[in-house]
Amino acid sequence: MRPSLLPRVLPLLLALLALVPASPSRAQEKVRYRGKLVTPEEKERLERGYVQNGDEWVLPEEARLIKKKMLRHRGRWMTVKEKEQYDKGLLPHGKKWLPGEEADALHATWHTAWELEGLHFLVRTDAGEDLGSEVLEILEAAYPRYRDFYLDRDPPKPRSSIRRVAGLELPATLLPVFVFRTQEEFGKFCREVGQPLLAEGPGFFDSATEVYATWDSGQGRLHLLSRIVGAVSELYTWYAWEDRVPRWMAEGAIRRFERMAWSRDESRLEIGLPHDSLLQEMEGKELLELDELLRGTAISVGSERRWLWGAQCWALVTFFESESGQGFAREWELLKKEYLGVPSFTDLQEAGEDQGARIFEKVFRGREDELGKAVRGHVDGLRASR
C-alpha cells in the first residue's frame, strides 16, 4: 500500500494558513473620531460623553477624581484615609470621627439629619447613615442607566450654587432625595410644602419643591430602594429633560427602573427585570386601546383601571428597551428626540397628553398593528419565563 502523504503535507498546510491574514472583526476595525483611530464601540462611548479609565468607561468628572487618587465608597468619593475610618465603623461629625451609633444619634431628627453627597445626588435622612449611604450608592449606580435611557442628557449646570427647599439650603448641583425616618415626619414635610394630601402616600416628587421625598415604611430595605430607584427616574427627567415626558412614558420608566436587582458588596445594579405583579395585572383582562393608553393618566383612567394602565405603560417601555423591541429602535429613539422638542408637559397641562399621543402616532404611523402584536408577544414571553 502506498504511504499517505498527509503526515508530511499537513504541517506545511498549517504553516501556509497561518500566513493568510484573518478577516478583521468588528472589534478590530478602526474608525476615525476627532483625529484618532478607535473601534466602533469606543467611538460610541466617546460620543456619549464617557472616557476610558483602564478597562472601565467613566464620566469625565469621575476620571478627574480617580486621577486625584480618590476612591468610591458608600456612594461618596473620599481619600484612602477617610475610607479607613469608615472601615473601622467610625462616622464623621464635623472634624471628628465617632462610633457609628453615637454619630447616628446626633443626626436622628430631621433638623440634624445626615446630608450625604455623591457626584450626582444628595441624600438627606434621619434614618441612619447606613440607610442613607445605601440609597446614595444605588442612585449613583443608577445614574448611568437614567442617562442611557434619556439619550445621555445630564441635568444642566444650575445658575445658583444653592437650592432652597423648606427652609434648607442644599447644593444646587446635586439631585435631592429626602428619606424620612417616620411617616409623621414625612407628613409634616408634605404640609410644609403645600401637599397635605400626599402625607398618607409612600412618597412623591413635586415640581414646586424639585425634590423626591419618601419615608422608611419598614417593609424592608430592598423594597424601599426599589421604590426610590423607580421614582427618581421622574426626578431625573425634571432636571435633565425639563419635564418633556408624557405621563405614559414617565409611568413606564418608573415601573421599569423599580424592578431591579442590587448587590451592595459589588455595587452592581441590574434594572428592567420582569415585573410579576404588573404581568399578573394584565392577565385575562381587556386591555386599554393604544389611544387611551397614550392619552391617559393614573387619575383619568379611574381607580379600577389605574394599575392596568400602569402595567401597559410598563409593558410598552420595557418592550422598546428589550431585545424584542430592536425592530422599533429607530422609532423609539426618534420618539424621544421628538419629545425633547415639546415644551414642558406640566406647562401644557391637559393638552400635554394629547400632544404626546399625537407625536407617538406620527412616529409609528403605519406600524401600530405590528407594534401592538410585538408588545403582546413580548409580554407573553415574559409571562412564560416566570
Question: Which superfamily does CATH assign the domain made up of 72-241 to?
Answer: Collagenase ColT, N-terminal domain (3.40.30.160)
pLDDT value at position 316? Answer: 97
What mean pLDDT is predicted for residues 195-201? 93
Task: Give the pLDDT confidence score for residue 14 in this predicted structure.
Answer: 53
- pLDDT tens-digit series, residues 339-386: 998 887 777 666 788 999 999 999 999 999 999 999 999 999 998 887
Hey, what's the torsion of the CAs at 19, 24, 27, 33, to 10 degrees?
A: 120
Average of per-residue pLDDT across 23-36: 69
Cross-strand partners of 168: 165
pLDDT digits (tens, 9 = 90+) for 216-256: 999 999 999 999 999 999 999 999 999 899 999 999 999 99
Looking at per-residue confidence, does 29 or 333 come out higher? 333
pLDDT of residue 1: 46
> Strands 211-215, 175-180: parallel, antiparallel or unpaired by DSSP?
parallel
For the segment 253-268, the average pLDDT, to the nearest whole number, is 96
Positive or negative torsion for Cα 85, 90, 91, 96: negative
Q: Per-residue pLDDT averaged across 315-336, rounded?
A: 97
Interval 280-296 mean pLDDT = 94
What's the confidence (pLDDT) of residue 97? 97
Q: Which distant-in-sequence residues (6+ apart) come within 8 Å of 234 by Cβ?
A: 205, 212, 250, 253, 254
| pLDDT cut 70: percent of the chain above it | 92
Residue-wise pLDDT tens digits, 83-104: 999 999 999 999 999 999 999 9
As given in the structure block, the three cell numbers for residue 152 are 445621555
Count of Cβ atoms closer than 10 Å to residue 174 Cβ: 18
Mean per-residue pLDDT, 36-61: 86
Could you give the 3-state DSSP secondary structure of residue 75? coil
pLDDT of residue 90: 97
Domain range list for the chain: 28-68, 72-241, 277-386
Query: Please, what is the average pLDDT of the chain?
Result: 90
Mean pLDDT of 121-126: 98
The predicted structure's pLDDT at residue 20: 53
Spatial contact of 267 and 234, defined as CB atoms under 8 Å apart: no
pLDDT recorded at residue 12: 56
- Mean pLDDT, residues 49-56: 86
Mean predicted confidence (pLDDT) in 274-285: 94
Q: Distance between CA 21 and CA 108 in Å, rounded?
A: 68
Q: Which residues does residue 164 pair with via DSSP β-bridges, in sequence order?
A: 169
**Predicted confidence (pLDDT) per residue in 150-186, tens digit:** 999 999 989 889 999 888 999 999 999 999 999 999 9
Length of the chain: 386
The whole-number pLDDT of residue 8 equals 59
Instruction: Tell me what the mean pLDDT of segment 7-28 comes to.
Output: 54
3-state secondary structure of 31: strand
260 closest CA partner among 307, 223, 234, 211: 223
Among the ranges given (48-52, 102-106, 110-114), the one the predictor scored with the smallest mean pLDDT: 48-52
Asked if 56 contacts 65 with a C-beta cutoff of 8 angstroms, the reply is: no
